[in-house]
Every structure is written in structure tokens, then in C-alpha cells.
Structure 1
């Protein structure tokens, strides 16, 4: 399969390229950096003709650039457009108007892995599932991930219940296996768009590795004009361990998984979804359409469950 990767030099993109190459795919790196691109294109240009030509022979186009530009999806030709974005509004837009080759969205760590776990737990109408994502404050996050976090500061979103929620507020303690209990705050991850239909409610939460780091994030949220620049400049010490905890308030059942390096996990989930979607003809696919929880062990992602 020929896969064009946008943003191939980024924290996630480099790992996607490596994994696809190791698994025997023909990878084409597309970007504006001549040193790291097979086809040099300014992905932010208003004229998308050069981009369309660069991906014309691809079977899939993976957008790891961090650019949320509908034109990139719509000008992907006959290739399926795969996007690792975590922005709910943007993902809903590309799913509503898929390119000729179709769209694969909600891939990566969150959404993606978190969406799979939420869908597994939210089995019945009336189920209420909390999803807590923990990111290691010591992880070397890519520019797009940092900008996404900065974008949370002071912003509100509408969750699956229709409420308007301010990011990084409404703290809640979630617990699963021993040692996982942690204080989280609400965040605009879009798992509810896929896993929260048919009367099921999914709420997304975020925490950093330590309580102090999470508190610092909450403080930055109070003063976005100051907090944003600080988040861009300051790299906190700590672990690079991430985890996803999903818990059904109705049944008490939980699912939990963890690992190291958020970018690595995002790349793994993306490549797994890309391969699983290779021969699908559906115009719009989500990770939940192509992957199953029990198959993730093949990708060295191990999920524990309990009550």
C-alpha cells in the first residue's frame, strides 16, 4: 500500500513513517522541509494544486501535520484521508464531507484508543462512561500536541449531554486498578461523538502525571494569556508515561491501559487503523469500525479490565 504522510518530520509523523516502512508499505513523505520530504509541498498554501499532485498516486494520506484544513481532506483524490486530530469540530466536518476516497478519523491515542475503550464499556442506553487520559508531563510532546493543549485554555465546548463546559474545570476522581486513582478535569476530547450515541453518555477528562502538574494546568487555564506562552516554553520534569482509564458509572466496570511516549502510542494506533481499513469501501470510517479491543495485543497494547 502506498501511504503519503503529511508532517512526516514531526513527533508523530516520524514514527508513523518508520512503522509503515518496517511493515513493508511504500511511504511518501510530504512536507515543506526539503531535507525530510520526498515531495516538497507547502501544506498551508491557499493553492492546493501542488498538494493534490503530490498525493495523487497514494492509496491513503495520513495527516500528521497538525494542520486542520478541510482542503487537505477534500483534495486527497482517490486516497482515503486519515487524520490524527483530536479536535471534535474539525473531525465532524471532515466526516460530514468526505473526500472521494473516504475518511478515516478518530485514530491515535485520544481519540482512537480511548474511543475504542469507551465504546466497549458504553454498551447499553443509559450507560454513563468517564474516560480519563493521563499524559506524562515529562514527555517530549510535538508542536501540534502543545498547540492543542494551549487551545484548551479558557475555551468551552459542548459535551454529549448538550452542556457547555469550560475546559480544565469540574475535577473528578477516577479509579480503576490499584495505583490508577487520580484527580482529572474535563477536556474536549471527542469520544462522545462516536461512543456516546443512542442514549449513552461519555465524558472525557484529562490529567498530567502528577497532581501538582495538573494543578499547574488548571492555573494556566485561569489566565490563558499568561498560561499559553508558558506552556509553549516550559518543559516540566517527570515521566513520559501515559494511561487511559475508562469507567462505566452504571455498571462499575473499568478498562485500563498504559505505556510510555504519547507520540509512539498515537503512531501505533494510527498504523493499526490504516492497515485494518485498507480494503474497506465505506466513505467514513472510525477506529471503532476497523479495530477491536481484543486485537490490540498484537500491537503490544494490553488492556486490563475489572470492577
Structure 2
């Protein structure tokens, strides 16, 4: 494990949800002082409606770091909590939200691409790009057997049937499959999905970076690919449970020459929380303005901080 930094005062919005509960516990285990805030006064240390920016700003006073684990994606919230001087970290994979944050000026650090995808995926791709400059594929494999929180479920539902820009074209989520060898899964069909880091890294690296997605169950992956074709799919209010048996996750970066680098583990929510909690150990490196995880830490540092090992194949 990486050396611990001095204890921080951390405020966690939604510190009692699927990810927030683990973030809060892990931060306290690392010796940080943590308060939780949210609408549920019975589960949070303080009752707070984060849709009220002035209340969020007041709650953030005295905090070194504010973590948003609610799934709420409001640029006004980021502006409000950073005004008193706190750093702000957001667990999001939504491209439009990251773009909205990019258009703002912040007085304090705002850190995004925190989690496993984006997050670990960005770190894997960044290291791959340094070794093998050129196009990169990112593959995200998740276990459909895990019970996900409401925010993750809603995020997946929004992808079904929608399209995203891809180097001059529009691509529908869960379409355009390619067949690849995925460690631990064998040859699998993986489908395009709109994770925000593919856009960020494509612009930064000046080369195509494309994200692909699969579930542990072939049937569940196929079901998503079929569901996204339905004309009424974009109107789905929420994702339906899909068949799956495991909580295993794997994230992988593949160079245009075929080299791969990947990390894996059990429990997506716990892994996201583990990466997020580790951010408190690196807050001294943060600079005012929007940053991404791969701008702040290296892949090896994150592997040490989280305990997730990096495997490589040339």
C-alpha cells in the first residue's frame, strides 16, 4: 500500500448508498475524519438537499475534500462546494456532465474520472499510450450478478438506445461489436459504450480511444445489444435486472499492436469506493480547476493504494 498522507476532513454526499457506504468506511479506516450528508437524516450525519447549492456550500466549509457519491450530476454543485476552498471529487462516467464541468472555472480542484471506469481504465490507457503510441481500445467487463445502486442502474438505463459521437460518426450504445480475447472469459463479443474517458483521452492523446462493454453473462450482454435496437428503448425509465452469476469486474486497455494491460477484482461498487477513498491520500497534488485521475496519480501508485494488481501481456 502507498504511504498515507496526513488525515483530511472529508465530506461525502450520499455516504450511505451502494458506493458511498464503502467510501465512508474506507476513509475512516485510513484515518480521515469523515462526515456524510444526504436527504435521509436517519442515515446521514447531516440532512442536506444537495440540489440547494447554498446549503451544499455551507456544509463544505472546513472540508479538505468533498466526494459526490449520490449520482447527481449538477455543475452548480461543483461550483458551490469549491467556492469555500474544498477540493471536489465526483464519481461519474457521463460525458455530457464532464463536458459541462470543463466549461467552468473553479477556484479549487475538481477531480473526475474517479472509479474503475473511468478511473482505472484511464490509468491503464495512459500507461499503454506511453508504451505504444496509437489507437487504444478500453474494455469494461462487469458482473451482472452484483446488486448495483440506483445511480449505476439509472446510468446504464440512459445508455440504452442512445448514441454518442465517435470520431466523426454517431455510434449507438451496445452496438458495433468486436470479438476479443478477454482474460478469464475467453473470446467474447464486446460492444461500444459511452464511458466519458474515451472522449477525454482521444482529445488528449490525439489518437482514437474507444470504449467497449460486456457483462459476465453472454446472455445478458446479448440482451443489452438487442434491447438498444428497440425504437422505444430510449424511453425506458430504468434498467431491468439482467441474468448474471458473479460480481467480478475487469478493466483492460489494448494497444493497436495487440498488447494488453488489465486489472480485475470482485465487487464493482466496492472497487469504485476503494479508488475513490484513495483520492484523499493525493489531495496535496491537486491544482485548482478540472483534472482527471490520470493527471494526478500513476497506474502503479493507484495499484499500491488500492491493492489491485496490474497484469500485462505483450
TM-score over 0.5 for the pair: yes
**Given the superposition, is the C-alpha separation of residues 302 and 285 from structure 1 closer, same or farther in structure 2, using an over 3 Å criterion?**
same
What corresponds to 1:217 in structure 2? 224
SS across alignment from 1:140:
coil
**Aligned-pair CA distance for 1:71:** 1.1
**Aligned-pair CA distance for 1:177:** 4.0
1:40-119 alignment runs, 5 A limit: 40-44=47-51, 47-76=52-81, 77=83, 78-119=85-126
Match of 1:17 among 10, 24, 27: 24
**Given the superposition, is the C-alpha separation of residues 178 and 154 from structure 1 closer, same or farther in structure 2, using an over 3 Å criterion?**
closer
Match of 1:128 among 123, 126, 135: 135
Please give the root-mean-square deviation of Cα atoms over the aligned residues, in Å. 2.0
Contact kept, 8 Å, 2:143 with 2:247, in 1: the verdict is yes
Contact kept, 8 Å, 2:9 with 2:33, in 1: the verdict is yes
- Deviation track 1:101-122 (CA, whole Å, cap 9, x = no partner) reads 2211111010000011111112
Paired residues, number: 303
Match of 1:166 among 146, 167, 172: 172
What corresponds to 1:145 in structure 2? 152
Contact kept, 8 Å, 1:115 with 1:194, in 2: the verdict is no
The answer to whether residue 175 in structure 2 is matched with residue 184 in structure 1 is no
What corresponds to 2:308 in structure 1? 301
- Deviation track 1:172-215 (CA, whole Å, cap 9, x = no partner) reads 11225464432100000122233223422100001010211100
Inter-partner Cα distance in structure 1 for 2:156 and 2:184: 28
**Aligned-pair CA distance for 1:232:** 3.6
Inter-partner Cα distance in structure 2 for 1:201 and 1:148: 24
**Aligned-pair CA distance for 1:15:** 0.6
Contact kept, 8 Å, 1:80 with 1:99, in 2: the verdict is no
TM-score, reference length from structure 1: 0.92
TM-score, reference length from structure 2: 0.90
- Deviation track 1:227-279 (CA, whole Å, cap 9, x = no partner) reads 97596443534111111121112x22101221111001111111223321334
Match of 1:263 among 251, 265, 269: 269
**Unaligned regions of 5+ residues in structure 2, if any?**
1-7
Contact kept, 8 Å, 1:176 with 1:254, in 2: the verdict is no
Inter-partner Cα distance in structure 2 for 1:218 and 1:230: 18
SS across alignment from 1:203:
strand
Inter-partner Cα distance in structure 2 for 1:180 and 1:202: 23
**Aligned-pair CA distance for 1:147:** 0.3
